Amino acid sequence: MKSIVVSEIRKLLGGQIIIGKEDWEVQDAIYYKRHDHKRRNSLLFVNRTDPIDWKAIDQKGPSLVVTDKKEIDLPRLNKTTVLQVQSLVQSYWKFITYYRNLFDIPVVTITGTCGKTTTKDMIHHILSEDRVVHASVSSQNEPRRSFPYLMGIDEQTEAAIFEHGLGNSGNIAHQCMIYQPTIGIITNIGVHHLDGCVDIEGYRKAKSEIIDGVRKGGTLILNSNDENIQKLNKRHFEGKIVYFGTDRDSDFRAANIRYAEGGMAFTMYHQKKGYRVFIPGYGEHQVLNALSALAAVNEMGINLHKAIRRLQSYKNMGRHLEFSKGVGGCTVIDDTWTNNPTSIEAALRVLDAIGKNKKVILILGDINRLGNFEQKYHQEIGSKIAQRNIHALLTIGKKARQIAKQASADGSNAIIRIYQDVNGVEEFLYPQLDEKTIVLIKGPMSSRSLIEFAERLKNGTLARE
């Protein structure tokens, strides 16, 4: 955070100092009870209904408490300044707007059912070679983290990149009010979080909040291949729209896509010029992630030849279609980072390309957060699997059993096993594993047992039965 003198904050927010000094500098800001108070020289926004541990605040002093409590019973404080304001909500948003406007830098925010973290990391990787970049951590993108992330921007920051978390409608709009992005990206819109958004229309509408959230005159980067994105209302967007995809009208278009050693090779066309691109990681979805990242850095003035060269050394996050040699020399594809219909379909398409003449085994866990559409989408995945040449399908969990049942009902030739948990999976799996076997493990990040099972399979510690 850029340091701000308390007296400047008082002038900005108005109100009255009822105790303490105002000649010191704030170096961090949090919303009390939502965020941990870890640092000295912190500003704490405290709601009138929240109980206050004055002793703890004072011990981490100097501290600035901004609150709209009407009657404050203050103990003896040595290192705390209290600024009483009329409305905490108004003061909070006034401070956010003030702080964001201190920085004239590109701020990129990214939403999508899949690819957010990868796209963010690609952009970060490209920019970091010669710029100071601030970014959200891993896929920790919950709305409550947005304010601390904004406070992470300081005088040295030359660009910022954040993911949008989505649990319910209004989340992205809220985050955009904090970040005020100059560039917004929608990677894709599939099916997820229907428990919070009711149905696919509600989910699509929630994703579209980024359109109004990008600053006037900013840039919106959209996937031209995505049918749900095509349905979004963009008529009132006051800025530039850039499309990426394989469609001929895309501003950043991929053609001649092929699987290469360790990743994807393709030709990118932009403004009638062709560029040869290689990106580590398998799948056409990885190509689309790369296109969106290249479109974003191009908007920030990075030469495309330079960006493409830097992208070659990008390293994928673990458990994102992570390839490893496992027990018996088999190939293990660990995709236990997230689980939704869109990411499962992407993984199946990778298997279509690399699984020919191989013994393919699928291990699939529950798909969560589908609300009233839980059975529908599990069954749809089962039908898609039944159309493929799969040696074995193993489902783990109460919800995932619907995948197995539907695959069987649709006439799949695969050996199908249904498990409540990972117990017993090794007994079936171990005799199947050899150099010609590919095992895809896909499940939700909430399933610690499935993640640990994938680790055992990768490091060769599965028990012999």
Q: Give which of 304, 239, 295, 303 is closest to 275, Cα–Cα.
A: 304
**DSSP string of 325-391, one letter each residue:** E-GGG-EEEEE-S---HHHHHHHHHHHHHH-TTSEEEEEEEPPP--GGGHHHHHHHHHHHHHTS--S
Q: What is the rounded distance in angstroms from the CA atom of residue 304 to the CA atom of residue 314?
A: 15
Q: Give which of 294, 239, 300 is closest to 271, Cα–Cα.
A: 294
Q: What is the rounded distance in angstroms from the CA atom of residue 175 to the CA atom of residue 168?
A: 12
What pLDDT, in 10s, does the model give residues 106-129? 999 999 999 999 999 999 999 999
Note the pLDDT of residue 465: 44
**Share in percent of the chain as helix, strand, coil (round to 5):** 35, 25, 40
Note the pLDDT of residue 463: 58
Who's near 182: CB < 8 A, 6+ residues apart? 106, 107, 108, 214, 215, 218, 219
What pLDDT, in 10s, does the model give residues 6-34? 999 999 999 999 999 999 999 999 999 99
> String of b and e for 96-131 (b: at least 16 CB within 10 Å)?
beebbeebebbbbbbbbbbbbbbbbbbbbbbbeeeb
Q: Residue 45 phi/psi, 5° resolution?
A: -85, 120
Contact in structure between 356 and 262 (CB atoms under 8 Å)? no
What pLDDT, in 10s, does the model give residues 147-195? 999 999 999 999 999 999 998 999 999 999 999 999 999 999 999 989 9
Rounded to two decimals, what is the model's pTM?
Answer: 0.96
**DSSP string of 267-321, one letter each residue:** EEEETTEEEEEEEES-SHHHHHHHHHHHHHHHHTT--HHHHHHHHTT--PPTTSS
Is the pLDDT at 299 greater than 60, yes or no?
Answer: yes
Cα three-residue angle 422-414-337, rounded to 5 degrees: 45
- What is the bridge-based pairing of β-strands 437-442 and 107-111? unpaired
Tell me the helices (H) and strands (E) count for the chain, helix number first.
17, 22
Kindly compute the dihedral angle of the four CA atoms of residues 298, 207, 287, 277, in this order, to the nearest 10 degrees: 0
What pLDDT, in 10s, does the model give residues 316-353? 999 999 999 999 999 999 999 999 999 999 999 999 99
Note the pLDDT of residue 130: 95
Is the pLDDT at 464 greater than 60, yes or no?
Answer: no
Q: What are the structure tokens assigned to 408, written together?
A: 């069987």
What pLDDT, in 10s, does the model give residues 358-396? 999 999 999 999 999 999 999 999 999 999 999 999 999
Note the pLDDT of residue 313: 98
Contact in structure between 40 and 60 (CB atoms under 8 Å)? yes
Q: CB-side exposure of 366: number of CA atoms within 13 Å?
A: 17
What pLDDT, in 10s, does the model give residues 417-460? 999 999 999 999 999 999 999 999 999 888 999 999 999 999 88
Q: Residue 6 phi/psi, 5° resolution?
A: -55, -40
What pLDDT, in 10s, does the model give residues 250-288? 999 999 999 999 999 999 999 999 999 999 999 999 999
Could you give the 3-state DSSP secondary structure of residue 240? Answer: strand
Output the average pLDDT for the chain: 96
Who's near 180: CB < 8 A, 6+ residues apart? 97, 100, 107, 213, 215
Could you give the 3-state DSSP secondary structure of residue 258? Answer: strand
Note the pLDDT of residue 307: 98
For residue 204, how many other CB atoms are within 10 A of its CB?
Answer: 16
